[in-house]
Amino acid sequence: NFMLTQPHSVSESPGKTVTISCTRSSGSIASNYVQWYQQRPGSAPTILIFEDNQRPSGVPDRFSGSIDSSSNSASLTISGLRTEDEADYYCQSHENTNYWVFGGGTKLTVL
Amino acid sequence: QVQLVQSGAEVKKPGASVKISCKTSGYIFTRYYMHWVRQAPGQGLEWMGMINPSGGSTSYAQKFQGRVIMTRDTPTSTVYMDLSSLRSEDTAVYFCARAATMDYWGQGTLVAVSS
């Protein structure tokens, strides 16, 4: 079974753009959809991106998702950073009905 | 509106079992799988398994096979997660999350395992 690897932390200034990567260890990143979640301290995760690049209604278009087969990775890009974007971010995918996996999470600091 | 409301915090001794409920509303219960995900203190998210509320079929992460049972009660639109043989490493917040995309989450249930 594959793993999803994320950077432990990233930081950027307000108003800038940051990209968080999620690399699949084996098998193609394009084989199964990737989701992205935001989790603030003490709260449940909320979905930001589903099916690689789809945004649920209510999620600002500052958040976007993509996949890159050449690096076998997915990416979450947040533009126009705000202090309220400071949170943990998780990617998630699955391989079959009994293997669903999350990346280790990335702590975003907006300095 | 879609809501997933979980049962309250639990304190258990090692070796005991815990059963957490996730009561749903605002959508057709049988149309969406339900996942269970846990998060140990200061750690990331860990998938435990899922249930199809339509027929009750389940899929469990290999790590929890033999220790977890997920069930549902269709008349009350509630799913349950029963974890047995608890150990200290099972201390975590447990979440239910709807559908393949995990688009809605319960508020979480803290389970503390301590002697």
Contact residues of A toward B, CB < 8 A: 33, 35, 37, 39, 44-47, 50-51, 56, 90, 92, 94, 97-105
Collect all residues with Cβ–Cβ distance below 8 Å to B73 and sequence separation of at least 6: B79, B80
Residue B41 has what DSSP assignment? T
Return the residue in B50, B58, B101 with the most chain A beta carbons within 10 A, the one to mutate for interface testing.
Answer: B101
**If residue A42 lies in a helix (H) or strand (E), which one and from where to where?**
none
Can you tell me the mean pLDDT for A22-28?
A: 96
pLDDT given at position B42: 96
Average pLDDT, chain A: 96
Least confident residue range of A50-59, A63-72, A95-104, B39-48: A95-104
A70's tokens: 């050449």
Q: Indicate the SS3 state at residue B110.
A: strand
Position A96 confidence tier, pLDDT thresholds 50, 70, 90: confident
- Confidence tier at A97 by pLDDT (50, 70, 90): confident
Q: To the nearest whole angstrom, how far is the Cα of B87 from the nearest Cα of chain A?
A: 23
Q: How far apart are CA B40 and CA A97, in angstroms?
A: 23
B108: pLDDT confidence band, cut at 50, 70 and 90?
very high
Indicate the burial class of B113 (C-beta count within 10 angstroms; 0-12, 13-18, 19 or more): buried
Report the pLDDT value the prediction gives residue A98, as an integer from 0 to 100.
84
CA angle (B52, B53, B58) in 5-degree steps: 35
Q: What is the β-pairing status of strands B10-12 and B109-113? A: parallel
Mean pLDDT, residues A7-15: 97
Cα angle value A50/B59/B114 (rounded, 5°): 95
**Identity of the residue in A97, A98, A102 whose CB atom sits nearest the CB atom of B45:** A102
Q: Could you report the per-residue pLDDT of B39-95, keeping only the tens digit for each? A: 999 999 999 999 999 999 999 999 999 999 999 999 999 999 999 999 999 999 999
